A and B are shown apart, each in its own frame.
Chain A
C-alpha cells in the first residue's frame, strides 16, 4: 500500500470493496447452504414423498426462469466490460436488461406461487395437513421458504442494480471507479448460483 495522504473516509480501494462483497457473499452462501443441509436431510428421510411432491411443480416455469436468469447474469457481467470501455449508454442498457429480466422472474414466481395457493398449498394450510403426507408437507415448506428467500434476494439485487444505474447515469460510477457496479454484478451472480441449485432440487428431480 502506498502512503495515503488524504482523510481515510473518502479513500477508494477497489480491492477492499471487492473482498468486502465476497465476504458478504460467503455469509449468503452459508445461509442458503444451511437450507440445503435441511433439504438433503429431509430428502434422505422422506425419499418417496419428495419425489411425489416434486412432480407437482411445473418444470417448464422453472426452466424458463433458469434460462432468463442466466441471460441476466450474462448481461450484467457484460455491463462491467462496457463500463471499463467507457461505454456508458451500453452499460445502462445492459443493466436495464438485467433489471427487467429480474422483474420478469418475479412475475413468473408470482404466478407460480399463486397457482399453488389456489390449490390450497401454502404453509399451514388445511389442504396440506389433510391430504398430504408429512414428507410432502416438508417439501412444500422448504419450497416456499427457499424460493421465497431467493425471491427476496432478487428484490434486494434489483434495488442494488437500480442504485448502481442511477450512479452510473450521474457519473459517480465510471471506468476508474467501477467497484460498485462489479459488486452489484457479484451479488446478482450469487443469486443466480443459488437458483442453479434450487432448480434441479425442486423442479427436476422427480
Chain B
C-alpha cells in the first residue's frame, strides 16, 4: 500500500491543543488519545478486579473463614464480576485498540463523531464512579452476583441502585462507541478501500458494533426495571405480585450472551492480524473469516437460553437453545482452522505477540470446547452453576479476550508509544503468566465435575485439594502479570525508539510513523485495485 508519511505534523503524544497537560487529554477528541484514556482507566479498573480475584482465591484456600466473611465474599465476587465484565472486557479491545486503530486502518483522520467519542469515555468514567460509589457509601456493597438475578436483587438490603445505574451508563457508553464505529466504517473509508479490502480487525469491530448497538439496550431497560422494582414495587419480576423471575433471566441473557461475543470478536480480530504478520503470509480464508465473524454476531443473538437450562424453561426452548448453541460454535471452529492454516508454509518470526497469539489459540480452544460440554443438555444439568462454568468462562473470557489483549498490546505497542519494550522480559512474563493461568483455572474443571457449586464461600473438605492448587496458580499468574506490566510501563517511557513498521505488517497503520501524527495522514491514502490488507 502506498505510504503517506506525515512527517511534518507533531505526533499525537506531544501535540499541544487548546489545553495543556491533563486537560489536553481528557478534553481531547483525538481518537488516539481517547484510546489511551480508555487504556489507562481500564488498567486501573482491571487491577482492582484482579486484586478482588486474588482475594477470593485466598479465601478459598481452605474451608471455613480464611480472610473474610461470607458477606464480604459475596460482595467480592459481585464486584469482581461487574468490573471485569462491564468495565474491562466489554469495552476492552474496541474501546482501546478500536479507537486507536480503526480510523488509521481505514485511512481516515478520525472517527465520524469525535465529540461523541469523547462523550463515550466520559460516560464510561461516570459509570465507573457510580459503581464505585455503590461500594463505598450506603448500606453495603451489592451482593447479587454480576447477573443481578431477580428476586434476590430487589430483596437484598445492599446498595443496588447506584450499581444498577452505573451499569446502565456503562451500557450507554458502549452503545455510543458502537454507533460511532458503524458510521465510521460506513462513511470514512479512504478511496479504493472496498468492503472486501478491510482488515479483519475492522471487520470484527463492525460485527461487534452491531451487537453493542442492538443488545445493550436490552440490559439497559432490564436493569432500569429492577431499579423501578426496588423503588416502587411495580411487580414486573416479583413473583409475589405476579411477575416471573424467569422472564428476568431471559432478558438478562438476551443481552449478556451476545455480550460474550462483544468480548471475543475483537479479540479474534486482533489474532487475525497478528498471525499473518508474523507468518509473513496472506491470511488463509479471508472471506471465510469474515463470514464466520458475521455468523457469530448473528447466531450469537439467538442462543441466550443456554444459561437457563435448569431454570425451568419449556422443553421446546431447551432443545432449541441447545441446538443453536452448538451451531454458534462452528464459526469459531472455522476461525481456529484458518489461523492454523495461515501458519502453514509461512515464514514464522517468533516474537512476543506471536507467543501470545498461539497461547490464545490454545486456551481459547480449551475454553470453547468446555463450552460445548455446557451446551449439551444432559451435561449442563450436571455442571451448571458449578466451578466447571467458572473454569469455562475464565478460560474463554480471560484466556480469550485477556490473552488477545496482551497479544494486541505487545503487537501495537511500538505504534502507540513509538518505543519498543524489552523483548526478553516480555517473553519471561508471557511464560510465567501462562503457567499461572493453567494452574489457576484447570482445577476448576475438576472441581466442577466433582460437584462443587460456584459462588460458594465455604466448601466441604473433599474440594480442598483442587482449591489449593488453584490458589497457588493465582500467585504465579500475578507474578507474571507484574513482570509484564512493569516491562510495558518502563518501556513506554524509556524504551528504544521504534521503527515505523517493526513487524513488517501490511495493514495501513504500519504506513504511518510511530507514534502517529495528530491527523494520522497528511494526505488520505488511496488503495489500488489489486492491493489488499494481507498481500505480502
Direct contact between the two chains A and B in their complex (CB within 8 A): yes
Taking Cβ atoms with an 8 Å cutoff, the residues of A that contact B are 1, 3-4, 7-9, 13, 15-16, 19-20, 23-24, 26-28, 30-31, 34-35, 37-38, 41-42, 45-46, 122-124, 129, 133-135, 137-138, 141-142, 144-145
Segment at the A interface, from B59-67, B94-102, B228-236, B466-474: B228-236
Q: Are B217 and A27 in contact (CB under 8 A)?
A: yes
Q: Are B235 and A35 in contact (CB under 8 A)?
A: no
Q: Are A8 and B109 in contact (CB under 8 A)?
A: yes
Q: How many A-B residue pairs have CB under 8 A?
A: 112
Point out the residue from B217, B244, B519 that lies within 8 Å of A31, measured CB to CB: B217
Q: Are A27 and B242 in contact (CB under 8 A)?
A: no
With known contacts A23-B182, A123-B232, A124-B232, A38–B247 Cβ distance under 8 A: yes
- Is the CB of B112 closer than 8 A to any CB of chain A? yes
Chain B: interface residue total (CB-CB under 8 A) = 45
Point out the residue from A34, A35, A138 that lies within 8 Å of B241, measured CB to CB: A138
Q: Are B251 and A31 in contact (CB under 8 A)?
A: no
- Enumerate 5 A-B pairs (CB-CB under 8 Å) in ascending A order: A1-B189, A7-B109, A8-B109, A31-B221, A134-B241
Please name the residue on chain B nearest to A30 by beta carbon: B217
Q: Are B524 and A124 in contact (CB under 8 A)?
A: no
Measured CA separation A134–B178 after assembly (Å): 39
Point out the residue from B112, B183, B189, B221 that lies within 8 Å of A35, measured CB to CB: B221
List the B side residues contacting A46 at CB < 8 Å: 242
List the A side residues contacting B235 at CB < 8 Å: 123, 134, 137-138, 141
- Is the CB of B188 closer than 8 A to any CB of chain A? yes
Name the interface residues of B180-234: CB closer than 8 Å to any CB of A.
180, 182-183, 186-191, 213-218, 220-222, 225, 228, 232-234
List the B side residues contacting A7 at CB < 8 Å: 109, 519
Please name the residue on chain A nearest to B520 by beta carbon: A8
- Is the CB of B108 closer than 8 A to any CB of chain A? yes
Q: Are B109 and A34 in contact (CB under 8 A)?
A: no
With known contacts A1-B191, A8-B109, A8-B110, A27–B251 Cβ distance under 8 A: no
Q: Are B112 and A9 in contact (CB under 8 A)?
A: no
List the A side residues contacting B221 at CB < 8 Å: 31, 34-35
- Is the CB of B179 closer than 8 A to any CB of chain A? yes
Name the interface residues of B244-284: CB closer than 8 Å to any CB of A.
244, 247, 251, 254
Point out the residue from B188, B218, B236 that lies within 8 Å of A141, measured CB to CB: B236
Q: Are A28 and B187 in contact (CB under 8 A)?
A: no
